[in-house]
Copies of this chain bind each other. A is one copy, B any other.
């Protein structure tokens, strides 16, 4: 950690900081410059982060050198992690496509769309039984009934299933039915939820929060990993910016940045990012070209009647055409799909 002192910091102030750093067990290199004096604190930086050195008299700013996440970092593990979900490998050469409706409405609709997307090449089935809705007056999901349908349809079509956990009290219920537990964007810093899924051995699909930095995103992954579960898939799904032409701004540069910092697989959800079905195709192609390990694309047999997010859902025939286009892009970057 580098501690930059104010121009007019007194010797007593400097000594006070130096003493504190030493008391915490680190060694100190003090460099007195004409413009600014600087303290280099050498040793375990973690013990310093909970000490408010930036509020000490005479301190101008504190600059950490090391990253605050460990288990999920490339420093910890050089090789890419590959998450195996009943034989579907996320993080390998094949780009995996998760598809299905936003919310589970009944079994027959779900089965219809599942068969279609499976035929088109999707390898994982998604569907929400508990829905985080902005309005208390909107459809909140079918609950356990929905989970049952999802499990049955997943089994009938041979696709592992992904569904969202919103409440730590539902952890056992979700674990009974799901192969992959999704943590939604709004819960990326719901630390209790992160700890709960960290205690399971399920694969966890962690969505980036609407205003989460890459560092915070990785810290949330670290929460899960620190509890013992390293089966984590990161999901970029658009961030909140000033631009309103799309619902959110899909941050595809997060893919190569995460790739460098972290060994976990990265999937992209263009549907939630753009919020309009007609923009999903170009952004899905771009995500693969940028290096995504997978995609999450909402589909619905009849979007006009969907109880949730109909505007961004693709009909099966449009999804099928898109999958053909995606396959070509995947091959152009030496991946399969």
A211: interface (CB < 8 Å)? yes
Is A246 a contact partner of B257 (Cβ separation < 8 A)?
Answer: yes
A199: interface (CB < 8 Å)? no
Is B55 a contact partner of A304 (Cβ separation < 8 A)?
Answer: yes
**A31-B40, A133-B191 known; A256 and B283 CB under 8 Å?**
yes
Is B49 a contact partner of A138 (Cβ separation < 8 A)?
Answer: yes
A317: interface (CB < 8 Å)? no
A89: interface (CB < 8 Å)? no
Is A191 a contact partner of B166 (Cβ separation < 8 A)?
Answer: yes
Interface residues of A in 275-318 (CB under 8 A from B): 276-279, 282-283, 285-291, 303-304, 306-313
Closest to A248 in B: B253
Interface residues of A in 8-65 (CB under 8 A from B): 20, 29, 31, 33, 35-36, 38, 40, 42, 46, 49-52, 54-56, 63, 65
Is B310 a contact partner of A51 (Cβ separation < 8 A)?
Answer: yes
Closest to A170 in B: B192
Q: How far is the CA of A273 from the CA of B251 in the complex (A)?
A: 11
> Residue among A135, A286, A311 with the most chain B CB within 10 A?
A286
Is A136 a contact partner of B289 (Cβ separation < 8 A)?
Answer: no
Is A253 a contact partner of B249 (Cβ separation < 8 A)?
Answer: yes
Segment touching B, from A109-117, A121-129, A234-242: A234-242
Residues of A within 8 A of B (CB): 2, 4, 7, 20, 29, 31, 33, 35-36, 38, 40, 42, 46, 49-52, 54-56, 63, 65-66, 68, 75, 132-139, 166-169, 186-187, 189-192, 195, 210-211, 213-216, 219, 222-223, 226-227, 239-246, 249-257, 260, 273-274, 276-279, 282-283, 285-291, 303-304, 306-313, 325, 328-329, 331-333
